[in-house]
A and B are shown apart, each in its own frame.
Chain A
């Protein structure tokens, strides 16, 4: 491949996709719970299928974590975040920070469902000069609030965003999506203290609690439990939900707060969710499916 045959180029809004996303938001605003659950499930199912095919095409990706965080991202982008995909730098937007940046394919795919950029660009993931790097870059990808990849970075940035928005008098909210393994990084707990000390009631941390990290379970590596008690002890409100139940996630994130405190939603998830041979298997952390596995996965996700 010569340097001219690269996957470079700016990512620009996809106005058709934005229209579709806006119609989904309108539907969800008026739908009953059954219909809302069905709409979010359909959105998440589409994201999962695209995640599998994108990783297969690129030969690279964090398949297991992408599938465990998909329902969280689908719920937040589909039903919660006040954003304008045509204006990714709109100052009053809600911010979502994906601290577990290795799950970039799930994030990129979700961003295309909102129309931040066209879905066909996902085929360039990890290709030479593509803006879609293995880990998300703020400079290159509209909708990415901060470059992430090294773990334990998202929550401090989210705390800064929440402090800054409050100083500006903005009602915008900040959501940080973290992996559970990365809670072993001490920087998270520095930020957790600061968030509680400052009463950041516009800040929500959602933990993708799939119980596995790269090499083994979190319990066998450096146990996080009692996790909810830790967050409570740090001064946070805690909700524990099924991280694949869209309505439970929606309720946990949007419930009114009795006190001016940050909220932690521990979303219990399954790594590799939706593909039987990937579920809860540590080797699928960053394993890439072969042709047959891809066919089987897409079949199961149909």
Chain B
């Protein structure tokens, strides 16, 4: 097996933010004592006056972000995804989304990235919560190229957005050449007509690996990277439902409200096909992130097994499959 080079998407985020800030003096960063974990040290060094660290106070942080936007600045409000979204959800709803404030919410280290630090630090509900808020785009880049492109798009676009910036190492998945990120557009990374694997964030590379495993079983799986969870690329999902026999979703978030629910809503309303929705459905046990992903079946083998299952082909001779979550 070839060992792929992997990346922490926070590095791409941090480098892009510094690049943009050099050319746009309106860009400021706001954080909650998370200069290190939000990877803002280089930004702080180059633009010390433009880093507003409010300390451990997320409601204050998001409100301040809305105020900075009101004053004409472009704030990137950064904090661990669970604290940013759970602690300040009402500020996100009222001060940012309902006020249409030009605030860029950056949820760092989402999903199960905090591993053995436990469910208090995991951000698995954020996609469900935020998808329920009107006027708030929810963007989940899958690799460094998508992360950089999404940050550029956010800076150039007036209006609120939530960006989920991964920490768990991921390989490059974006096809070379094309635009890495187009707002509201899903990217078809592999063609296939038996089933469609719809994945987001850290799960995209694993869905691609699952398609390889399925091909070995004679099953051709389409792979779709959904980097804009809200608004969802309905056309790409409808195409999957019309052109393939089943849909499997995979995300590092609860599927009851996140990507899985979003895709299921479209499939149900247009062309119902059998589905499997993969994601953690319980608070995680203790363990590092890689272990937890395996525990919840969020591996190439787990995704492939679900595809075989939903197609009625059983899990056969797929070796090393993960446990059901």
Mask of B92-112 contacts with A, CB within 8 angstroms, 1/0: 001100111100000000000
Q: Give the residue of B50, B65, B98 whose beta carbon is less than 8 angstroms from that of A160.
A: B65
Mask of A166-204 contacts with B, CB within 8 angstroms, 1/0: 011010000000000000001100110110000000000
Contact B68 A161 (CB under 8 A): yes
CA distance A138 to B160 in the complex (A): 14
CA distance A164 to B62 in the complex (A): 14
Contact A137 B62 (CB under 8 A): no
Binds B, one of A13-21, A151-159, A275-283: A151-159
* B-contacting residues, A247-268, CB 8 Å: none
* A-contacting residues, B42-89, CB 8 Å: 49-50, 52, 54-55, 57, 59-73, 75
Contact B68 A147 (CB under 8 A): no
Contact A160 B100 (CB under 8 A): no
How would you classify the secondary structure of chain A's contact residues: helix, strand, loop or mixed? Answer: helix
Interface size class of chain A, counting residues whose CB lies under 8 Å from the partner chain: 20 to 34
* CB of A95 within 8 Å of the partner chain: yes
Shortest C-beta distance, A169 to chain B (Å), equals: 11
Task: Name which residue of chain A comes closest to B71, CB basis.
Answer: A164
Contact B67 A160 (CB under 8 A): yes
Specify which of A160, A162, A163, A164 lies most central, judged by the most chain B CB atoms within 10 Å of its CB: A160
CA distance A155 to B66 in the complex (A): 11
Mask of B179-220 contacts with A, CB within 8 angstroms, 1/0: 000000000000000000000000000000000000000000
With A149-B94, A187-B60, A191-B63 known as contacts, the answer to whether A161 contacts B100 (CB < 8 A) is: no
Shortest C-beta distance, A287 to chain B (Å), equals: 26
Contact B62 A156 (CB under 8 A): yes
CA distance A161 to B67 in the complex (A): 4
With A190-B54, A190-B57 known as contacts, the answer to whether A150 contacts B67 (CB < 8 A) is: no
Mask of A64-102 contacts with B, CB within 8 angstroms, 1/0: 000000000000000000000000000100010000000
Q: Give the residue of B63, B71, B101 whose beta carbon is less than 8 angstroms from that of A156.
A: B63
Shortest C-beta distance, A102 to chain B (Å), equals: 13
Task: Name which residue of chain B comes closest to A197, CB basis.
Answer: B55
* CB of A27 within 8 Å of the partner chain: no
* CB of A228 within 8 Å of the partner chain: no
Q: Give the residue of A153, A161, A186 whose beta carbon is less than 8 angstroms from that of B70.
A: A161
* CB of B90 within 8 Å of the partner chain: yes
Contacts of A190 in B (CB 8 A): 54, 57, 59-60
* CB of B154 within 8 Å of the partner chain: no
How would you classify the secondary structure of chain B's contact residues: helix, strand, loop or mixed? Answer: helix
With A149-B94, A187-B59 known as contacts, the answer to whether A156 contacts B67 (CB < 8 A) is: yes
Contact A194 B99 (CB under 8 A): no
Q: Give the residue of B52, B67, B90, B98 whose beta carbon is less than 8 angstroms from that of A157.
A: B67
Contact B64 A157 (CB under 8 A): yes
With A155-B63, A159-B60 known as contacts, the answer to whether A146 contacts B54 (CB < 8 A) is: no
Contact A167 B95 (CB under 8 A): no
Contact A156 B59 (CB under 8 A): yes
* CB of B128 within 8 Å of the partner chain: no
Contact B67 A159 (CB under 8 A): yes
Shortest C-beta distance, B78 to chain A (Å), equals: 15
Contact B71 A150 (CB under 8 A): no
Contact B70 A147 (CB under 8 A): no
Shortest C-beta distance, B297 to chain A (Å), equals: 39
Mask of A229-256 contacts with B, CB within 8 angstroms, 1/0: 0000000000000000000000000000
Contacts of B64 in A (CB 8 A): 156-157, 159-160, 163, 191, 194
Shortest C-beta distance, B302 to chain A (Å), equals: 41
* CB of B28 within 8 Å of the partner chain: yes
* CB of B91 within 8 Å of the partner chain: yes
* A-contacting residues, B283-304, CB 8 Å: none
Contact B70 A146 (CB under 8 A): yes
Contacts of B90 in A (CB 8 A): 150, 153
* CB of A295 within 8 Å of the partner chain: no
Task: Name which residue of chain B comes closest to A152, CB basis.
Answer: B59
Contact B52 A191 (CB under 8 A): no
Q: Give the residue of A158, A168, A191 whose beta carbon is less than 8 angstroms from that of B73.
A: A168
Shortest C-beta distance, A41 to chain B (Å), equals: 32
Q: Give the residue of A149, A153, A168, A186 whose beta carbon is less than 8 angstroms from that of B72.
A: A168
Q: Give the residue of B54, B71, B75 whose beta carbon is less than 8 angstroms from that of A194.
A: B54
Contacts of A153 in B (CB 8 A): 63, 90-91, 94-95
Contacts of B60 in A (CB 8 A): 156, 159, 187, 190-191, 193-194
CA distance A137 to B98 in the complex (A): 8
Task: Name which residue of chain A comes closest to B50, CB basis.
Answer: A167
Q: Give the residue of A150, A158, A167 whose beta carbon is less than 8 angstroms from that of B94.
A: A150
Contact A147 B71 (CB under 8 A): no
Contacts of A138 in B (CB 8 A): 98-101
CA distance A91 to B73 in the complex (A): 11
Which 3 residue pairs are nearest across A and B when measured between Cβ atoms? A160-B67, A156-B63, A164-B71
Write 25 A-B pairs (CB below 8 A) sorted by A numbering.
A91-B72, A137-B99, A138-B100, A147-B95, A147-B99, A148-B94, A149-B94, A150-B90, A150-B94, A153-B91, A156-B62, A156-B66, A156-B95, A158-B67, A159-B60, A160-B64, A160-B69, A160-B75, A162-B67, A164-B70, A165-B71, A168-B71, A187-B60, A187-B91, A193-B57
Binding site for A on B (CB under 8 A): 28, 49-50, 52, 54-55, 57, 59-73, 75, 90-91, 94-95, 98-101
Beyond A147-B95, A167-B49, 15 additional contacts (C-beta under 8 Å) are A91-B72, A146-B99, A147-B98, A156-B62, A157-B66, A157-B95, A161-B70, A163-B64, A167-B73, A168-B72, A187-B63, A187-B91, A190-B57, A191-B64, A193-B55
